[in-house]
Amino acid sequence: MGIQIDNRYPKLLPASRWIRHKHIEALISYAERSKNLITSKIGESEEGRTLHTIRWGRGDKRLFIWTQMHGNEPTASHALDQFIQDLEHNPELQVLKDKIQIAIIPLLNPDGAERFQRRNALGIDLNRDAVARSSKEMKVFFRFMENFNPTWAFNMHDQRNIFSVGAQDICASLSFLAASPDENRSISLERKASMQLISALMPNLEAQLSGHFGRYTDEFYPKALGDNLMKMGIPNILFEAGYFPNDDLRTKASALISNALIDSVQLIAEDKWQFVDTENYFLIPENKQKLRDLILRAVKFRNCKMDLALMKKEIPNPDRDELDLVYELVDIGDLSHLKGITEKEGGQINSLKDININQLANFSLDDGQLYNFKDGVLQPL
C-alpha cells in the first residue's frame, strides 16, 4: 500500500473542475484499449447522454463505485483517471483479479455535469432519488446494481470548503461516512463493516496528509442513496473530497482518493478490514462548518467596524469552456466563531453601493491596495 501524492500515470482528464461527458470519453477510450478492463453501455441520461461502466476482475467479492451523481462534484472522477490505469498496470492489483471484481460508473449525472450543477436535467437530486427512482439515471443505476449484486459500494462526492476537521481551524480535505440504516443510527453488520474499512484506510491516509480527515454526521436520511443501500444490506462508504489551502483543483483530495481506492481493493480482496476495531472510526473528528474561504476582520465601512466572510463560487463560462472563479459575500458582522482559510485584518471598505450577503463581491479594501473585487472577480493588483 504505497504512499504517493503525485500522479503515477499521464493524466487522461484535463486539469479542470468542469468535467463533462466529453471528457469522460477519454477514460472509456482508455479502458477500451486496455487488456484488463471491459466497458459497456448501460443506459442513457434524461438528455440522452450515454452512461458507461468500466469493469475489472472476476472474483466473488464485488465492489461498485460511481462518481459525479452530483454533476458539480468532479474530484473522484479525477481520482478514477489514475485508478483505472492502476487496474491496468499495477502488479499488486493484478494478483487480486481472481478474488475481487470492480464495476465503475464514471459520471452518473452527465446532464448535471454539462451545466455544472448538483441536480440532473429535470432538477432532481439523484442522491435523494433512491426510493422513488423517478429519474432516468437512477433507474439505470439500480437496474445495473441489481444485476451486478455488489458486496461493497463506494459513493463518491465533493464537500464544500466550509467543512473543518472537528472544531479545529483545519480544512477537511477528505471525509467519510458509514451511513445509518435507520433513525436509531443502528450499527448493523453492514454499517460495522463500512466503519471497519474506513478505519483500515486511515493509517495510510494520515501518512500522506496528516490531520486533514473528517467524519460526516450519521443522521439518517430516508431518501438518500447510502442510507438505503445500508438498509438493503450493502456495506457502503461515502467519500467526500474537500479543500486544501491553495488547491482549487483539489489535486490533493483526488490523489488521496486514488490511493485509498488501491488500498480498498487490497483490504476487501484479502478481508484485512475485518481485523480493525470500529472504535477507530469514531476517533475521526466529526466535520464542523467552521471555515470560510476569505474573512476580512475588523474592516471599516461607513464608520462601522465589522467582519466580512466570502466564499469562492464556480460559474460555468461556455465562451472559455471553463469555470470562472468568483467571490460571494456570505456573512457580515461579528464572525469570531468562524475561521477564514485566508484572513486579513483591518482596512477601509470602499463601495459606492450597499454591501449585502448572497451577492457577488463589489468593493475594494484600502483603495484596492489589498483587495479589489468587481462582479465577484478578484482583480489583479
Q: What is the pLDDT of residue 367?
A: 72
- What 3-state class would DSSP assign to 143? helix
Mean pLDDT over each residue of the chain, to the nearest integer: 96
Q: Mean pLDDT throughout 341-365?
A: 95
Q: Mean pLDDT throughout 59-72?
A: 98
Helical ranges in the chain per DSSP H: 21-33, 75-89, 91-94, 110-115, 136-148, 189-208, 225-231, 251-269, 279-282
Q: What percent of the chain has pLDDT over 90?
A: 96
Q: Which residue from 274, 245, 262 is spatially nearest to 172, judged by alpha carbons?
A: 245
Distances (CA, A) of 221 to 15, 64, 181, 195: 34, 21, 9, 18
Q: How far is CA 349 from the centre of its chain?
A: 35
pLDDT tens digits along 267-290:
999 999 999 999 999 999 999 999
Q: What is the pLDDT of residue 3?
A: 38
pLDDT tens digits along 20-49:
999 999 999 999 999 999 999 999 999 999
Say if residue 202's pLDDT is above 50. Answer: yes
When pLDDT is cut at 50, 70 and 90, the band that residue 60 belongs to is: very high
Q: Mean pLDDT throughout 360-370?
A: 88
Q: What is the pLDDT of residue 161?
A: 98
Q: What is the pLDDT of residue 369?
A: 80
Q: Which residue from 165, 7, 167, 5 is spatially nearest to 81, judged by alpha carbons?
A: 7
Burial of 305 (0-12, 13-18, 19+ CB in 10 A): exposed
